[in-house]
Amino acid sequence: MLTDNQNGVVVHPHEGYGYVNDEPVNLTDLSAEIPVNGNDEIARLAHGFHNMGRKLSGVLQAGTDTVQNVENSAQTFSTRTGQPVPDDTG
C-alpha cells in the first residue's frame, strides 16, 4: 500500500485501485483525483510515488511482476502530469 497522508491518498497497487479522501478511485484515474496546488506539488507527489516504489522493490519478497507494477504506477503518474520520474540512485 502506498500512502500520501498530506493529500489523503492511499494506493493499493496490487489491487488496481486507491482511495482519495476515502473515496475509491481506479489507479488509471488517480492522477486526476489528487489535489494539486501547482507544479511543485505535482513534482513532490511524483517523486514520493517513485521513491515508495523503489523502497518496495528492496523490501517485498515478490515476483518482478508485482514490483514492476508499482514502478509502472510512478511512471504513469509522471507521464500524466508531465513531470519526469526523478532519478534517486545517486
Q: For residue 26, list its beta bridge partners.
A: 17
The region that residue 60 occupies, defined by phi over 0 for left and psi between -120 and 50 for alpha, beta otherwise, is beta
Q: Which sequence spans correspond to the domains of the chain?
A: 2-81
Summarised one tens digit per residue, pLDDT across range 32-59 is 445 545 566 666 666 666 666 666 555 5
Quick one: what percent of the chain has pLDDT higher than 90?
Answer: 0
Q: For residue 2, list its beta bridge partners.
A: 11
Contact present, 69 and 57 (Cβ < 8 Å) = no
pLDDT at residue 90 above 50? Answer: no
The region that residue 24 occupies, defined by phi over 0 for left and psi between -120 and 50 for alpha, beta otherwise, is beta
Rounded to two decimals, the pTM is 0.25
CA separation for the pair 31, 36 (Å, rounded): 9
Question: Cell for 72?
Answer: 509502472
